[in-house]
Structure 1
């Protein structure tokens, strides 16, 4: 019988809080059997529970040792590696279950798949984000599969080729403009991110002398993976299964874009002329050090460091102080909920954006509306 050394036990115990999200899988199975008001527990457990934990547990400003070896991160990596088969089984198992049993009404099925979409968006897309940034081929494939399960594969191309390059500039569709409400942001991003991701891949192929429809274009893989998911949903549940699958995918994407909305809201990089901008700095991302929501989101809220070192694994992401990077007043779960009420969100965030401008760009007094690439932030 093999035993874990004290060092390995310590690493496991440090990683375990990040696995709290795995409790959502049995919870989803439980509420699917109960129906009725039990179904609201799925969104409440991810949004409400972790917001309450943030209030009681507080902040975590500790930083991991950057000399930590890859081997020491085994348990953290395992969390992201095993999520896809669990999410896959949950989505398609539930499609089969609700289309072959009659104990749930139509509205209950919709509520159930709303909750599943919250899981696949809050956890699944977030884990895919971690995986797509890694060099390991298996991890990147798992990231693609997670995105295919929410019909949003092009997010990989948009995120890696557009967002990280153009964040906090008018060229990045995902950077929310100052005063832009989420209900305007969301449809704009759905449209523009698809166009920008296709354009980025097309430009890469052109530099290699290849056409946009060459098979090496990852959009061919995206189409095959997403088509396979839709086919499986149909085989398991017919058109009702396809509808429920697409509904949870929409909810998941809505969750993703809520997070995208708050991560860079109102922040801009200085325009240097000739279409060039200053380098990305910690000041160009909103951060949150709230401990519990960082467990849920595997340190996504340490967003400035992610933009500094995109392939840095989540346990190694560093916290920044308020003097180094702008801080959100609450964790992402609370901030995304407020984003759904634009007047409330603006009341919370606009004064902080204006303070950010005074702190980092005091020489700029004439801020033009930040809407179009032809109207950049002036010098």
Structure 2
């Protein structure tokens, strides 16, 4: 059983290998793969319930290596997806595979329908979210570990979001669930608006944080020392490399994948703190994040689901996060909640009562006043009352 506690956090590698297999087989296998992954992570959470175990890990290095291994895996998945979309033989990969194994990716690619290409795009974006953004989230918190930080930033470079290593660690964790936080969605906002607003405000916030840091260190703003600029250059370098290998078509597809992966991150931000309020002068408590202990989500997402403890103690490694039974709970697991956000009327119908319940059960007296103001602006009290009549 002790080995299982380690192995469960390697489960995302199996999903990655399935994605690779489906992309290489092509045709209906891509559609089957996309459907299987979505059903497994949404329905699986419903059927398999919660994981509230809290074992002691005596060799945590094993659980760092699996995060590092996300880098070659997701880069290969992304490369393969671009290869399947492109008209070129990027890096001669198709010819090498044909001559060494007899597998003809050229024929597989030629037979792909538009629907199957869309399915391949969806699979790849899901994999970027699971195997790039989520491991990167854990790694960029380890500011004392240069290797983890570098790998985390190269994972984020896939989505033009290396600024996450600045804004999330030094901004979001300070201002979570306040009006100053770009990642916290106010009551009544829909997810599509949030993707755009949070992306813009997150970049602005990261730039200001980096500007203050460089000024304090007496470094030039426009120099190698600027982590904001250096990070975006990493992404531009990837785009240039893809375009050089596969032409404009491949470059545009890479940009679409990056946009999809970034949107997925902002959707997760949206649902993790939606509608919650806090005075920025007070410390972040477990009730300032929506939590879930769903088993499949927890295993695949390195306990990101235990978000309440993560925000209460951001320095705690993912394997040591506690389930926080008394924290406010999400609608379900992560993927099922993501799917819910995509239908704003349904999202607000489900979440408005939960937000009002948060006001009465979790909010302090000061937070009740902030919540009341937010309710007046958003009109969610009237929405819930109308739904009950």
TM-score interval, smaller chain: 0.7 to 0.9
Aligned CA distance change for structure 1 residues 132 and 362 (closer, same or farther; 3 Å): closer
Name 1:55's counterpart in structure 2.
46
**SS, match of residue 222 in structure 2:** coil
Give distance in 2, aligned partners of 1:193 and 1:355. Answer: 29
Pairing 1:345–2:347 present: yes
Where do 5+ consecutive residues of structure 2 fail to align? 90-105, 378-389
Deviation at 1:163, TM superposition (A): 0.4
Would you say 1:290 and 2:294 are equivalent positions? yes
Q: How many residues align?
A: 352
Counterpart Cα distance in 2 of 1:176 and 1:43: 29
Task: Verify the 8 A CA contact 1:122 1:255 in the aligned structure 2.
Answer: no
1:273 matched residue in structure 2: none
> In structure 1, what is the Cα distance between the partners aligned to 2:33 and 2:266?
19
Question: Which shows bigger deviation, 184-193 or 22-31?
Answer: 22-31
Choose from 197, 217, 220 the match for 1:188: 197
Equivalent-residue separation in structure 1 for 2:230 and 2:33 (angstroms): 32
2:64 aligned counterpart, secondary structure: helix
Asked whether 1:309 is paired with 2:313, we answer yes
Asked if 1:163 corresponds to 2:168, the answer is no
Q: In proportion to residue count, which structure has more helix?
A: 2
The alignment yields a C-alpha RMSD, in angstroms, of: 2.1
Work out the CA distance in 1 between the residues paired with 2:216 and 2:275.
33
Aligned to 2:332: 330
Aligned match of 1:15: 6
Structure 1's unaligned 5+ residue stretches are: 1-9, 271-275, 373-379
1:354 to 353, 356, 359: 356
Contact 1:287 1:301 (8 Å CA) reproduced? yes
Equivalent position SS for 2:174? helix
For residues 42 and 119 of structure 2, the distance between their equivalents in structure 1, rounded to whole angstroms, comes to 21
Structure 2 residue aligned with 1:368, among 346, 362, 373?
Answer: 373
Contact residue 80 and residue 127 of structure 1 kept, 8 A = yes
Q: How far 1:258 sits from its partner (Å)?
A: 1.1
1:135-214 → structure 2 map (5 Å cutoff): 135-214=144-223
* 1:149-177 deviations in Å (ceiling 9; x for gaps): 22211111110121011111110010011
Counterpart of 1:125 in structure 2 is 133
Match of 1:88 in 2: 75
Deviates more, 1:219-228 or 1:337-346: 219-228
Q: Displacement of 1:319 after TM fit?
A: 1.1
Q: 1:178 to 1:227 in 2, by over 3 A?
A: same
CA distance in 2, matches of 1:239, 1:349: 42
Structure 2 residue 261 is the aligned partner of structure 1 residue 252: yes
1:333-375, Cα deviation, whole Å (9 max, x unpaired): 1111100111111111111111111123364357223899xxx
Match of 1:319 in 2: 323
Instruction: State the SS of the aligned residue for 1:288.
Output: coil
Q: What's the TM-score, normalizing by structure 2? A: 0.84
Q: 2:30 aligns with which of 39, 42, 50?
A: 39
Per chain length, whose mean CA-contact separation is higher, i.e. which structure has more relative contact order (CA < 8 Å, sep 6+)?
A: 1
**Aligned position for 1:222:** 231
* Secondary structure in structure 1 of the residue aligned to 2:274: coil
Is the contact made by 1:338 and 1:344 (CA closer than 8 Å) also made in structure 2? Answer: yes
> Could you say if the C-alpha distance between residues 33 and 209 of structure 1 is closer, same or farther in structure 2, counting changes exceeding 3 Å?
closer
Partner Cα separation in structure 2 for residue 212 and residue 316 of structure 1: 38
Distance 1:283 1:93, change over 3 A: same
Distance 1:80 1:88 in 2: 13
The structural deviation recorded for 1:97 is 4.5
Q: TM-score, normalised by structure 1?
A: 0.87
Deviations 1:8-67 (A, max 9, x none): xx54332212222212333223322443443234443333202222122111122234xx
Which residue of the partner structure matches residue 65 of structure 2?
A: 78
Equivalents in 2 of 1:219, 1:42: separation in Å?
36
> CA–CA distance in 1 between the matches of 2:155 and 2:369?
44
Find the counterpart in structure 2 of residue 108 from structure 1.
116
Counterpart Cα distance in 1 of 2:130 and 2:278: 28
